[in-house]
Amino acid sequence: MPFIDAHVHVWTDDDARYPLAPGFKRIDGWPMAFLPETLLAHARPCGVERINLIQISFYGFDNSYMLDTISRFPETFVGTAVVDAHAPDVERTMAELQPRGIQAFRIHPRLAERPPAEWLRPAGFATMFAAAERNGQALSCLIDPDGLAEVDRMCAEFPGTTVIIDHLARVGGGGVIRDDDIMALCKLARHPRVFVKLGAFYALGRKLPPYDDLAGLIERTVRAFGPERCMWESDSPFQVLPPHSYQASVELIERRLAFLSAPDRDWLLGKTAESVLFDATLRNQFS
Q: How many residues does the chain have?
A: 287
Q: Convert the pLDDT of each residue in 97-107 to its tens digit.
A: 999 999 999 99
Angle (nearest 5°) at CA 128 between 231 and 52: 30
Q: For residue 209, say if its preceding peptide bond is cis, omega within 30 degrees of 0.
A: no
Residue 280: the pLDDT is 55
Q: Which of 282, 250, 284 is nearest to 268 (CA)?
A: 250
Which of 21-30, 171-180, 211-220 bottoms out in mean pLDDT, i.e. has the lowest?
A: 21-30
With b for 16 or more beta-carbon neighbours within 10 A and e for fewer, the 116-142 pattern comes to beebbebebbebbbebbbeeebbbbbb
Query: Nearest-CA neighbor of 201 among 167, 160, 241?
Result: 167
CA distance 243 to 263: 30
Question: In this structure, are residues 220 and 178 in contact, taking their beta carbons and an 8 Å threshold?
Answer: no
Mean pLDDT of 24-47: 94
Mean pLDDT of 24-33: 89
For 58-61, the CB contacts below 8 A with 24+ separation are 58/11, 58/20, 58/21, 58/24, 58/25, 58/26, 58/27, 59/11, 59/18, 59/20, 59/21, 59/24, 60/20, 60/21, 60/22, 60/24, 61/21
In this predicted model, what pLDDT tens digit does every residue of 73-86 receive, in sequence order? 999 999 999 999 99
On whether the 3-278 domain is CATH 3.20.20.140, my answer is yes
Q: What is the pTM of this model?
A: 0.95
Give the model's confidence band at 285: pLDDT under 50 very low, under 70 low, under 90 confident, else very high: very low
Q: Average pLDDT for residues 103-118, to the nearest whole number?
A: 92
3-state helix, strand, coil in the chain (%, to 5): 45, 15, 40
Q: What is the structure's pLDDT at 196?
A: 98
3-state secondary structure of 158: coil
Amino acid at 44: R
Q: Count CA atoms closer than 13 A to 265's CA, side-chain side.
A: 16
Helix, strand, or coil (residue 139): strand
Question: Rounded to the nearest 5°, which phi and psi values hold at 212?
Answer: -65, -25
With a cut of 70, say whether residue 41 has pLDDT above it. Answer: yes
- 51 forms beta bridges with 5, 77
- Write phi, then psi, for 77 (nearest 5 degrees): -115, 145
DSSP string of 78-96, one letter each residue: EEEE---TTSTTHHHHHHH
Give residue-wise pLDDT tens across range 221-255: 999 999 999 999 999 999 999 999 999 999 999 99
> For the chain, how far is it from start to end, CA to CA, in angstroms?
25
